[in-house]
Amino acid sequence: MCRLFGLIAPRPVKITFPLLEAAESLRRQSLLNPDGWGVGYYAGGHAVVRKQAEAAHGSPGFSRVAEQARSHLFVAHVRLRTAGGINLANTHPFSYGGWILAQNGGIGGAWHKRIKAEIGWGRIAGKTSGEHLLYWLHARAGHLSGAARDAAILAAVRELVADPASIGSANFVLATGDQLYAFRFSPPQGNARSLFYLRRSPPLAEASPGAAEAEGGIPRTPAVLVASEQVTGPGEPWQPVANGCLLIARRDLSVDLERIAAA
């Protein structure tokens, strides 16, 4: 069923804790989702994706990225194969045009054909819905910024859910370099996938900038997190993203929730 994780913070942080150490870390979740792992983030203003078509819980590469990567914006994924072989071409997240996207579920063959017809056949290398959605959303909104980009992404997902006949689940996490988007959608005939978010505000007496990083990005780090599971446990106020909602999170930790479709 795949598992998603995303984070946006005012300054670069590490995500060692949610990926390796938390009770519901992505490494632990990969025991049931062993068909690939990937971590996307931004370094020097550029999108970087590290991924392997192997289980995260046995991968030295996954541990190395989780321990070393620092960024203000992350997208991570552990995969359980539903479409396409176990290979890099089908391993999330995907990067295109400076955007990074990981997806959970599937939008179906009809939507795959429709997207290929719109963006051009031969541009998508793999078979997963995540790669299709990334190219399609970027074609609709990649040339825009700010409120105009938000509106274009909203319009695109409204169009997606207006024709849900082949969709099993359309959960995704998308990073655009300056913002984090997360969408949860399963139609009545689909398989509901969970998605949660946490807005962690700075404490009144905030620690020095290096303190949280030195501790592996533990729960005190101010950030907005989204995840398929409540990775940091019951001590923090995680909230469900309602079915049919698009979450938009920014580096100032502001969050908007836009209702796209009825639950």
Catalytic (active site) residue 245: no
Q: How far apart are CA 153 and CA 173, in angstroms?
A: 12
Q: Are strands 223-227 and 245-250 parallel, antiparallel or unpaired?
A: unpaired
Residue of 1, 2, 243, 256 marked catalytic:
2
Instruction: Give me the active site residues, please.
Output: 2
